[in-house]
Amino acid sequence: MKPISLADLCQYKKEKHKFATITAYDASFAQLFAEQGIQVILVGDSLGMTIQGESSTLPVTVEQIAYHTRCVRKGAPNTFIIADMPFMSYATPEQACTNAAILMQAGANMVKIEGGSWLCDTVKMLCERSVPVCGHLGLTPQAVNVLGGYKVQGRDEVTANQLIKDAIALENAGIQLLVLECVPTSLANQVTEELLLPVIGIGAGKGTDGQILVMHDALGITAKPPKFAKNFLAEAGNISDAIRLYIQEVEQEIYPSDAHSFS
């Protein structure tokens, strides 16, 4: 497989070619996902829940993300890997640089940070130092204690407008991808149209440029899956076919359906 670049993802957006991405935390799954055609893998701090059995992403450390990034890179040498920067690892721009370096040296192509306009200086500093940055808006799980739970965000006009402003500010600061989690489809569509960069949705409807799923949700492992999750393994029968079905349904805009989205 030819290594995928950010320019390719921008081209997908221009051509309205929807793309599927997924989380992975180890070499075996990363290899299998890459073999089925997944071009972008997120080493998410969701590993706090999926791998470590924690009740949130907050206990995850930079060293743990670096370890899993190294594993994923071994399994998927040509895949574009985004590594999550854990809670409090980017509290200041300087801290962000130090910790992003660890993740890039572990094999990431890009780091992801959660939050709005307050991160603009951090984004600029990382970009100037050759670290590509992915933003994350909407439901930002590291802020669960402020948000009061894992709830849909941007349902009213004020919070929706704020999210749009944050997305534009982050794009102007230099982010090159944006993950939009658990927002109404209409808001996700507006953000996707407004921004030049590719927007990857999770619980954000089918209008975003790409989709991402936590692998445990896509394979029916999660005990209480979120509304937007779909168990592709149940339909496909084996893991390889499940991942191919996921990619196909995203490309053909079958998944996510209205039943997997918020209005």
Which spans of this chain sit near ligand KIV (rule: CB under 6 A)? Answer: 23, 42, 44-46, 84, 179, 181, 202, 212, 214
Cα–Cα distance, 226 to 57 (Å, whole number): 16
What is the rounded (10 degree) CA torsion for 187, 143, 102, 215?
Answer: -60
Provide, rounded to whole angstroms, the least separation between the CB of residue 197 and ligand KIV. 16
- Cβ nearer to ligand KIV, comparing 86 with 156: 86
Structure tokens at 222: 């999660």
Q: Which residue has the CB atom at the shortest distance from ligand KIV?
A: 44
Provide, rounded to whole angstroms, the least separation between the CB of residue 130 and ligand KIV. 23
Q: Are 49 and 55 in contact (CB under 8 A)?
A: yes
Q: Where are the alpha helices (DSSP H) in 174-251?
A: 185-194, 215-218, 232-236, 239-251
Q: Which of 71, 46, 65 is nearest to 57 (CA)?
A: 46
Cα–Cα distance, 58 to 46 (Å, whole number): 9
Q: Check whether 84 is labelled as a binding-site residue.
A: yes
Token pair 């168990």: residue = 231
Q: Check whether 249 is labelled as a binding-site residue.
A: no
- Cβ nearer to ligand KIV, comparing 215 with 245: 215
Q: Are 152 and 203 in contact (CB under 8 A)?
A: yes
CA atoms within 13 A on the CB side of 151: 9
Cα–Cα distance, 252 to 233 (Å, whole number): 18
Provide, rounded to whole angstroms, the least separation between the CB of residue 237 and ligand KIV. 25
Q: Check whether 230 is labelled as a binding-site residue.
A: no
Provide, rounded to whole angstroms, the least separation between the CB of residue 46 and ligand KIV. 3
- Cβ nearer to ligand KIV, comparing 4 with 157: 4
Q: Check whether 45 is labelled as a binding-site residue.
A: yes
Q: Is 110 helix (H, G, I), strand (E, B) or coil?
A: strand
Active site includes 251?
no
Q: Check whether 46 is labelled as a binding-site residue.
A: yes
DSSP E strand boundaries for 93-238: 110-114, 133-138, 177-181, 199-202, 210-213
- 181, 193, 235, 251: the catalytic one is 181
- Cβ nearer to ligand KIV, comparing 25 with 102: 25
- Cβ nearer to ligand KIV, comparing 111 with 173: 111
Provide, rounded to whole angstroms, the least separation between the CB of residue 229 and ligand KIV. 10
> Annotated binding site: which residue ranges?
45-46, 84, 112, 114
> Annotated binding site for 3-methyl-2-oxobutanoate: which residue ranges?
45-46, 84, 112
> Annotated binding site for Mg(2+): which residue ranges?
45, 84, 114
Q: Which residues are catalytic?
A: 181
